[in-house]
Amino acid sequence: MSTRRRFWLLSIAALLGLAVTLSLGRWQLSRAAQKEALQTAIEAQKSKPALDGAGLVSAPLPSSLVHRPAVLQGQWLPEHTVFLDNRQMNGKPGFFVLTPLRLAGSDRVLVVQRGWVPRNFTDRAALPRIETAKGDVRVEGRIAPPPSKLYAFDAVETGPIRQNLDLAGFAAQTHLPLFGVSMLQAGPSGDELQRDWPEANLGVAKHYGYAFQWFGLSGLIAVLYVWFQIVRPYNLQRRRNNHGA
């Protein structure tokens, strides 16, 4: 291969490498900006006044209330309590305990993620005993998306112990008029449930880290190109000229 042809092939490869790495770096920055905007929106929701049952019922789109604090009055429906298996809190496996709450003055029902409890590993079918107050209760927390899902089974899940809880399917099974959102209960626990819910981590720093890597690779390509295609050949040619003089 001639020197000139090799020069142009390497130049084209370097330009393509720069274009790709710079584009990926800019894309990571855009993803970081999107998630920062989302984080700002979440913090704005958290700073709003606490929502009551009437506000939740009257909302045209309950999903727009996600992350907003809420103080609700109602009655637990413990016969429909569900234990989501293989859930962790503070690094320990166990159950997330979910109980529907019928709102006071309404027939609407909200699934409340009440907290975490360890499971009995010697008897995996054993249900933990959960204290559930009778009559009217006051529940504090924040509106949340439907319970998070792990790997899903093809079959429809039933019974108190489940891998996941699909709110639409659960409403069909129980005939309860459920909201399409849930609630993460907060506040002191009188039922021995742990409520150390993690804050939303959108991974903004990860995208900045990836962007730094892609831009660093772009810089490395540029430096190597300049050195091997311009500086080094120039130095070699100058030495030859000096020796020939």
- Report the alpha-carbon distance of residue 90 to residue 238 in Å, rounded: 66
Backbone torsions φ then ψ of 110, nearest 5 degrees = -120, 130
Token digits of residue 197: 């819910």
* Cβ proximity of 89 and 102 under 8 Å: no
Closest CA to 180 of 56, 44, 4: 56
State the DSSP H helix or E strand holding residue 157, giving kind and residue range, or none if neither: none
E strand residue ranges, 80-177: 82-89, 92-103, 109-118, 136-144, 161-162
Q: What pTM was estimated for this model as a whole?
A: 0.78
State the DSSP H helix or E strand holding residue 11, giving kind and residue range, or none if neither: helix 3-46
pLDDT tens, per residue, the chain with 245 residues = 677 788 888 889 999 999 999 999 999 999 999 999 988 888 999 999 999 999 999 998 888 999 999 999 999 999 999 999 999 998 888 999 999 999 999 999 999 999 999 988 778 778 888 888 899 999 999 999 999 888 766 667 888 999 999 999 999 999 999 999 999 999 876 668 999 888 877 888 999 999 999 999 999 999 998 988 888 887 877 787 777 65
* Cβ proximity of 48 and 78 under 8 Å: no
